[in-house]
Chains A and B, each alone.
Chain A
């Protein structure tokens, strides 16, 4: 606990230093950050929007980690999920209670499909899912760009995006005038479901065994290849669902820049949250503050918003020290 506070303190100091370097006043900077994130109802709503957009991929990454897999491809899976939701949504004219589930499921399916490519390469060929998911991230962005600007271009769209979704397909807002939508409760429910899955179900048990002690799991009759594949697919589905909620709830269209790197920041969030779904909710909120406050910080205090990704990168390094390795408990040699 003391160590965590120490790390937080060091990060704050570094951030302050960076702000000074940019010729800005750090106190103004932090004030603007928190003002922008939590200063009023609409600010808090926007922070919660960012929280939600982070929560989906973070749960996805944590889920994969628990199963012993590195899903570095949440970004690409998110893009594909959003892409499918956007492409279908722009052309689908149906009442909300039909359209929205279709789009969300399409998003999840898209993400699952995308991650399954990596899952298949791993299960069938033993190929590293780290490399596979990294490569697929870039392919996803290229594919999205191509489809949306090229053959599947919507007549009403300007730029690398789809046309706007019909209003019926928008996720209902929780707070009028803000972008906060049903996506948040969906994400929270997902977190609770995952927590239950890990703690109480046989499937969760087998997943954790495969992740923590693959040889013991194999001899206990657990099918490692199948478990890894399913875990990758589900992980992708969660990230894809996140992309779909951004499309239906926040932007109301698909745009290739729909994610400022949520899939990568998710790795930090998953670690900060100790791979536990409930703690990840809190961690997502913390990072959500950073994301939504950054723009205000830039506008009000002239602090470049990139300081935030810089600090997020540092946070990953600092927080991962020792904790993650202990989690996985690489077995020490003979006693």
Chain B
């Protein structure tokens, strides 16, 4: 099922008038990894073009090549004019001001001196022209994420690009901000800019774009006219087949497990305030919300790595603050947000990584020594049960794909019969197959009586997995929905800050 689906002739290379054209572009890294293979892409002035694909499909690499930030190993890139690129993870200098960031590299100057006044004026002018309100003197690190994105957008727009590429622009935005962003994008397209949006949010693709290119495993596999296709068809092209199904949920008997009372932790706008809720054994409770509303502080407090006020109890016993080791001993396991930094030691093998967290507990330790046989046995068991694709358990985890790395992390968390599982963005940056496996395992754990708290920025994931949904906004829990009473629209409004009155329970 790998043949491209319907290619109208206008997509074939050589079409006149394209603002951006990639022909036969490939990118191979030393070691033989093909990030991109023989890709063709054409973006025309005035269109909003979506580039879709799973994580790891090569979209960001292709975008970097298109913007001239990365050199292709083969193929040609033709761009008529500047190509601007707004990154998924902003590349701004946090400690400098907005105007300094916007003019960086193209600073207005009088002789040797920086012309700060001219720079200010330039920012204000751009800001008005594109309808992106910013305070030129604000320090970037103090800005909320949606405003910071505008700064990076302005920086790119200052170069008067004929092509603008946006990489996952709505991942960090609330619904209202997403609407504002697309209004800006539409205005840009109307002025003749060619816009390429990299996204996996298919609903947005259907609503706002005119053409779609799908990538899978480094290759371009399909083109669509948005008007003629559906979310399902795009998703199937992205995955190359039917979407994998999740495990089924069963009836469970709820048992008291984790109780939070008045939990307050974290700093300033990223703090969690006065959170009170519980998670019972045999259910998955989800925390819905846009990134940056206190979820990380909540997760870190539960994991025991930051100080907090209020209390956390597991099965009636209060947990001491700042004690990750104690939590592990009591059966609390976490699947952190950033597996490469927070869950794995990349230079180590799978064998050594599976012992992390349990290295002081028999059978993984024997006296002062590690028990290598036990480590190996555990690694083998996880690799089998979680379908980790690797040549050997002694292979370094750095060589594994994101999905396989995550499977190791999840396998390790589930290996010692946990009582409570804190899961933070479990399917970030992994392919759909691995994501489905991870999600299924979470459901199976829930079926077996584990209490699961799922924090995710993907509302679809929350709705697919959770028995109850809480909404976080600005550090507070503002909504509480049981599965039967889930109202997607209401949850979306709460995520964006609508008042909490009338929340269903």
Contacts and interface: CB of A to CB of B under 8 A. Distances in A.
Interface of A: 200-203, 205-206, 208-209, 212-213, 215-223, 327, 329, 331, 333-335
B89 A220 contact: no
26 contacts: A200-B369, A201-B368, A202-B359, A202-B368, A202-B369, A203-B368, A205-B370, A209-B345, A212-B345, A215-B338, A216-B341, A216-B344, A217-B345, A218-B324, A219-B324, A219-B334, A219-B343, A220-B324, A220-B328, A220-B356, A221-B326, A221-B327, A223-B325, A329-B398, A331-B346, A334-B429
B38 interface: no
Nearest to A214: B341
Interface in B342-371: 342-348, 352, 355-357, 359-360, 365, 368-370
A213 B345 contact: yes
Interface size class of B (residues with CB under 8 A): 35 or more
Of the candidates A202, A209, A220, A334, the one having the most CB atoms from chain B within 10 angstroms of its own CB is A220
B480 interface: no
Contact of A205 (B305, B352, B398, B402): B352
A218 B328 CA distance: 12
B345 A216 contact: yes
A221 B357 contact: yes
A167 B360 CA distance: 47
A248 B88 CA distance: 62
A214 B368 CA distance: 22
Nearest to B168: A334
Contacts of B347: 212, 327, 329
Given A202-B365, A212-B348, A335 B429 contact: yes
Contacts of B355: 205
B55 A335 contact: yes
Given A200-B370, A201-B370, A215 B398 contact: no
Contacts of A222: 325
Contacts of B342: 215-216, 219
Of the candidates B326, B342, B355, B402, the one having the most CB atoms from chain A within 10 angstroms of its own CB is B342
Interface string B372-387: 0000000000000000
Contacts of B327: 221
B3 to A, nearest CB: 27
Given A201-B369, A329-B347, A219 B398 contact: no
A220 B328 CA distance: 8
A213 B369 contact: no
Nearest to B364: A202
B249 interface: no
Interface string B128-165: 00000000000000000000000000000000000000
Given A205-B359, A219-B305, A335 B368 contact: no
B303 interface: yes
B365 A213 contact: no
Contacts of A205: 352, 355, 359, 370
Of the candidates A217, A329, A334, the one having the most CB atoms from chain B within 10 angstroms of its own CB is A334
A142 B143 CA distance: 49
Given A212-B348, A213-B346, A334-B429, A206 B341 contact: no
Given A219-B305, A220-B324, A221-B325, A202 B360 contact: yes
A287 B219 CA distance: 52
Contact of A216 (B328, B356, B359, B370): B356
B55 A333 contact: no
Contacts of A212: 345-348
Nearest to B368: A201
A202 B324 contact: no
A205 B342 CA distance: 17
A89 B360 CA distance: 41
A219 B345 CA distance: 12
A202 B368 CA distance: 6
A-B pairs with lowest CB-CB distance, top 4: A221-B325, A220-B357, A213-B345, A221-B324
B340 interface: yes
B341 A213 contact: yes
A140 to B, nearest CB: 33
Contact of A221 (B328, B340, B348): B328
Contact of B56 (A200, A201, A213, A335): A335
B336 interface: yes
A217 B353 CA distance: 11
Interface string B402-438: 1000000000000000000000000001000000000
B429 A209 contact: no
Of the candidates B343, B356, B365, the one having the most CB atoms from chain A within 10 angstroms of its own CB is B356
A124 B297 CA distance: 23
Contacts of B368: 201-203
Contact of A329 (B303, B336, B346, B359): B346
Contacts of B88: 334
Interface in B265-319: 303, 305
Contacts of B359: 202, 205-206, 220
B298 to A, nearest CB: 15
A264 B347 CA distance: 27
A264 to B, nearest CB: 27
A201 B327 CA distance: 23
B53 to A, nearest CB: 13
Of the candidates B56, B338, B345, the one having the most CB atoms from chain A within 10 angstroms of its own CB is B345
A65 to B, nearest CB: 13
A45 to B, nearest CB: 37
B41 to A, nearest CB: 20
